[in-house]
Structure 1
């Protein structure tokens, strides 16, 4: 059995855990219908970040949505957060079933 799929994008942002609540409010305001959040750790140009210590904790927010919505969110993040916070964001093409969820 082959399931029918629809094209969407997976928008991912990895950033400082202290931004979680403000970012979630903005995602809601921008029209995001759902998201997944997980702890993240790693190393980048702002040093080592681990999920165990509040001030250095990172989160990963993932959203499946239309490309247009992902671009609106990216533009907002770039304008309001990129200059002053540890943050990386990327978009990938995905195919989903249960399109009504996205």
Structure 2
């Protein structure tokens, strides 16, 4: 499984890269802020909602600390998706936040 540091994702966001981020945290956690442009799909819904994702795009998965996003990466990797786990999750992320 590929991994990315929070420093790497902040640099990509600062460079206006077209990223496809999936936040697998629960609703109450997401209310505290998300990575700008991220799509919210709670871990328990990842498998059922995989059909909503474009299999030709790479995805970066994030959660609070990195464990749930790792589980989500495993689910999507088995379905043939190109996924990267954000190491340390939102606890390590110190970039801009978006509130929904």
Normalised by the length of structure 2, the TM-score is: 0.33
The structure carrying a bigger helix percent of its residues is 2
Give the TM-score of the pair, scaled to structure 1. 0.33
- Higher RCO by CA contacts (8 Å cutoff, separation 6 or greater): 1
